[in-house]
Amino acid sequence: MIRATNLTRKYGAFTAVDSISFEIPRGQIVGLLGHNGAGKTTTLKMLTGYLEPTEGEVEIAGLSVLNDLLSVQGKIGYLSEQSPLYPEMTVWQYLYYVAEMRGVAAPRIGDAVREAIRATDLGKKAEDLITTLSRGYQQRVGVAQAIIHKPEILILDEPTNGLDPTQIMAMRQLIQNLSRNATVILSTHILQEVEAICDRVIIILNGRIAIDSSLGALQQENSLKISLREDLASVKQTLESVSGVHSVAPLSSSDSLNHFSVRITGDYDAVAPHIAKAVVNKGWNLYRLEGEHRDLESVFNEVNRVSKGVAHV
């Protein structure tokens, strides 16, 4: 559905996006994650054809963004970080105008507006001036204009920016509902948003892709916590000889127990029994052996640590 190949954007000597490549199949919700200034918005603008890449190319549904721009843009719904609303219009008037601009057939415009209002739960606000709406409802209007023409791809840049907790939860549900009929790219710097609704995460640092993985794979347990009465040197010597164990590091001590983090390179369920067997063979008492779950915050912090002191990850 979406293919970016060696996508690069330079501003003079500064490289905002540096040779990134990825493919996104139909129906995925992908979180594009990174610090402010990492290159997320520049990437989105190149995907939509708003910004021409310095190098590389983008294909949407087999069409080149460079050579078939209007056809490609007809397949995309885009909510920019600063949603292009006209505050002096009512919600209905604005969406009617957007539908005309999007080329919706005249006999279909009324139905298209009603469907977009229904999908974003704006029925009670349809006759209100946009300037009178709360930030949350204005974001809903922004989403409504993005889906008015039933796009195959929905690109949302910071859709929960400035929303309160209740509005954020409502926006999450809205995005999940919309993903039933469209591929969704969600650009954000808020980790919780990606964890809450995305199938896959692409982390961009310094204009390059640092991680591209399914959320489930990122959060798999790649370390475990073990509690013993033994000292670090003995535990390291014993456990680091076990196949699948990468390293052993101390965590803390309490109640005469020592707690260790065991990094593994294989599957947790496959490695854990061998660790337990090694402990038993030594005649040690095993007080705890459990997986350590990685959340997206720990993954992001790990990527940042690796990137310190180098230009790119």
| Within-domain flag for 264 | yes
Let me know whether 188 and 267 are in one domain: no
Q: In what order do the strands lie in the sheet with 200-205?
A: 76-79, 153-157, 183-188, 29-33, 200-205, 208-214
Lowest mean pLDDT among 64-68, 79-83, 173-177, 216-220: 216-220
Mean pLDDT of 204-233: 87
For the segment 99-118, the average pLDDT, to the nearest whole number, is: 96
Residues 209 and 246 in one domain: no
Residue 83 confidence (pLDDT)? 77
Average pLDDT over residues 162-182: 87
Quote the CA–CA distance of 221 and 264 in Å, as a whole number: 9
Cross-sheet strand order for the sheet of 2-11: 14-24, 2-11, 55-60, 63-64
| Residue 162 Ramachandran class (φ > 0 left, ψ -120 to 50 alpha, else beta) | left
User: Quick check: is 307 in a domain?
Assistant: no
Asked if the structure places residue 308 within a domain, the reply is no
279: number of Cβ within 10 Å: 20
Tell me, what's the pLDDT at 215?
85
For residues 158 and 272, membership in a common domain is answered with: no
Q: Do 235 and 90 reside in the same domain of the chain?
A: no
Classify strands 153-157 and 183-188 as parallel, antiparallel or unpaired.
parallel
Q: Are residues 73 and 184 in the same domain?
A: yes
| CA nearest to 158, candidates 134, 175, 181 | 175
Final residue belonging to a domain, choices 218, 239, 257:
218
108 shares its domain with 253:
no
**CATH number of the domain encompassing residue 91:** 3.40.50.300
List the CATH number of the domain containing 239.
3.30.70.260
Its domain, for residue 136, covers 2-218
The answer to whether 95 and 110 are in contact (CB under 8 A) is no
pLDDT range class, residue 304, cuts 50, 70, 90? confident
Residue 306 lies in a domain: no
Q: Residue 312 above 70 pLDDT?
A: no
Q: Which amino acid is at 200?
A: R
CB 143 within 8 A of CB 184: no
Same domain, 196 and 272: no
Q: Is residue 304 part of a domain?
A: no
Q: Clarify whether residues 243 and 208 are in a common domain.
A: no
For residues 270 and 15, give the distance between their C-alpha atoms in angstroms, rounded to a whole number: 43
Same domain membership, residue 255 and residue 137: no
Both 113 and 152 in one domain: the answer is: yes
Whether 236 is covered by a domain: the verdict is yes
Q: Are residues 236 and 185 in the same domain?
A: no
- Number of domains composing the chain: 2
Asked if residue 301 belongs to a domain, the reply is: no
Tell me, yes or no, whether 158 lies in a domain.
Answer: yes
Check whether 313 has a pLDDT greater than 60.
no
Write the DSSP string, 154-188.
Answer: EEEESTTTT--HHHHHHHHHHHHHHTTTSEEEEEE
| Confidence label for 309 from pLDDT (cuts 50, 70 and 90) | very low
- Both 142 and 190 in a single domain? yes
At which of 176, 194, 218 does a domain end? 218
Q: pLDDT class for 34, splitting at 50, 70, 90?
A: confident
pLDDT at residue 297, as a whole number: 81
